Amino acid sequence: MIRRLAPLLLLSVAACSFAPKYVRPELPVPASWPTGDAYLRQTEASLPAVTYRDIFRDARLQRLIEQALANNRDLRVAAANIEVARAAYRIQRAELFPEVTTGGTVTQREIGAGAAGGAFSVGGTTYQANIGVTGFELDLFGRIRSLNAAALNRFFGQEAAARAVRLTLVGDVAGAWLTYAADRSLLAVAEQTAESARASFRLTEQRRAGGVSPRSDVRQAEQVLATAEAAIAQQRTALAQDINALQLLVGAPVDPALLATTIEEASATLAEMPAGTDSRVLLRRPDVVQAEYELRAANAEIGAARAALFPTINLSLVFSLANTALSELFSRDSLTETGTAGITYPIFRAGAGRAGVAQTQAQRDALLAQYEATIQVAFREVADALARRGTVTAELAAQRRFLVAARDSFALANLRYRGGIDTYLTSLDAQRQLYAAQRSVVETELVRATNLVTLYRTLGGDSQLDARASGPVPAAQQSVQQ
């Protein structure tokens, strides 16, 4: 019996596939990044392999990132989703193999029933054991293999989604760390301004008491002092909220020793990340990788829908052992082989089969558009970050020059006011300009630092996140199939 059914089994192994051959779509973006006054010139041919340690070099920030990677709940959800996808693939893959079942029965026959209440005489006992394969579909047209390929690609896509979560988490921790440092700097500015305002208020009080200054000067000095004190309260609130944000990302209390004290100190620890001239580096971004795996899965499902239009062949093979004596149950004379091969073919389904093919093709087209849109969005994000990178250094330099001039202007205006040459209004305007200039320098320094974080995240450049950027890795597939 096995010899007769063996050709069918071999034919199933060598089954064909109706899935279209997958060809990676052309990039729907220019081959290189934009160039011009707003963009930095880049000479690298491709983005080198880096890790977050290469970009975020401060040991304190690295420690926070390590804690986040160990404790963050979003990462745990992503890891669980990977296991769900892995199990779904293994369940689908199991359909490629026959399901072997076994069972046994004991039958006792009674004969010679007497009158009501009379005795029975036992006619005999039969022992039976069965082992076999029932309802195994021979995958002659690749339907099951196509579904298996779709499940495998979705598993890889889920892994890419987890890498995207990890990449975003690293960027968010770095951004929150830098924001805290900037708020510390802004608090220092507000405290310095308040201290200066208190000195000005005392001076105007003395001058008013001596009949030199009007009461309006005192009120204006009070306004500056109140504004600075309100800013101090606001910055303390912001610092507390920054700590809360970091604790949520890290998933644990944050050690104050791991926090930066100024934005200048923090931004100096970040390294430049070369963007490269070839936009194909976008193909390794986790969200782009995930979109491509979804496209591959949809392509495989077209093959399953096409195969469903063809006949289905099911195989059953059962070995039965039956004997009236338990000791003789496993003898050769007790063995019975039963093998059947059935074929089914849908004659009329009102077009449902072809509609299924059309549906999978439309889904593939939708995912193709989504894949291309993902690349276009990624290109825009990188181009925007490069444009900001090309101008923020010049902006920061101009802000610093403005700060030097504002500080000198305030010192001169204060001296002229003390000397009775200018009104307090001139000194007040100079002090307000100095305060605004100090805040602008801090805010621009934060923009410059977070721009490096944005480039790291939008380029998807962490080498620990993109092991399968160019397609499924056989080793990974083998680990799933174990």
Residue 334 located in a structural domain = yes
- 181 versus 470: the higher-pLDDT residue is 181
Confidence of residue 97 (pLDDT cuts 50, 70, 90): confident
Residue 218 located in a structural domain = no
Q: What Rg do the C-alpha atoms of the chain give, in angstroms?
A: 37
Residue 172 located in a structural domain = yes
Residue 82 sits in a domain whose CATH number is 1.20.1600.10
pLDDT of residue 218: 78
Least confident piece of the model among 8-12, 25-29, 59-63, 424-428: 8-12
Q: How many domains does the chain have?
A: 1
Residue 374 located in a structural domain = yes
Residue 181 located in a structural domain = yes
d(CA 397, CA 300): 55
Residue 132 located in a structural domain = yes
Q: Are 169 and 211 in contact (CB under 8 A)?
A: no
Q: Are 459 and 209 in contact (CB under 8 A)?
A: no
Residue 213 located in a structural domain = no
Confidence of residue 98 (pLDDT cuts 50, 70, 90): confident
Question: Which residues are paired to 462 by β-bridges?
Answer: 50
Q: Are 297 and 150 in contact (CB under 8 A)?
A: yes
Q: In terms of residue numbers, what domain contains 262?
A: 2-105+123-198+244-481
Confidence of residue 116 (pLDDT cuts 50, 70, 90): low
SS3 416: helix
Integer distance in angstroms from the first to the last C-alpha of the chain?
31
pLDDT of residue 450: 94
Contacts of 283 (CB under 8 A, 6+ apart): 27, 289, 292, 375, 469, 470
- 248 versus 16: the higher-pLDDT residue is 248
| pLDDT winner (highest mean) among 251-255, 368-372, 410-414, 457-461 | 251-255
- Alpha helix ranges (H) inside 328-467: 352-418, 424-459
- Written as six digits, the tokens of 392 are 């923020």
Least confident piece of the model among 90-99, 181-190, 409-418, 456-465: 456-465
Q: Is the pLDDT at 150 greater than 60, yes or no?
A: yes
Q: Are 299 and 22 in contact (CB under 8 A)?
A: yes
- Written as six digits, the tokens of 259 are 């926090």
Residue 323 located in a structural domain = yes
Secondary structure of 16-44 in HEC code, one letter for each residue: CCCCCCCCCCCCCCCCCCCCCCCCCCCCC
- Average pLDDT for residues 199-219, to the nearest whole number? 74
Percent of the chain with pLDDT over 90: 27
Q: Are 141 and 18 in contact (CB under 8 A)?
A: yes
pLDDT tens per residue across span 35-73: 555 544 443 345 556 788 988 999 999 999 999 999 998
Confidence of residue 107 (pLDDT cuts 50, 70, 90): confident
- 342 versus 278: the higher-pLDDT residue is 342
- 45 versus 347: the higher-pLDDT residue is 347
Query: Which of 31, 28, 11, 12 has the alpha carbon at shortest distance from 276?
Result: 31
Q: Is the pLDDT at 477 greater than 50, yes or no?
A: no
Query: Which of 156, 143, 137, 155 has the alpha carbon at shortest distance from 88?
Result: 155
pLDDT tens per residue across span 377-396: 888 888 888 888 889 999 99
Q: Are 468 and 160 in contact (CB under 8 A)?
A: yes
pLDDT tens per residue across span 299-327: 888 888 887 777 877 778 777 766 666 66
Q: Is the pLDDT at 275 greater than 60, yes or no?
A: no
pLDDT tens per residue across span 125-146: 777 777 877 777 777 778 888 8
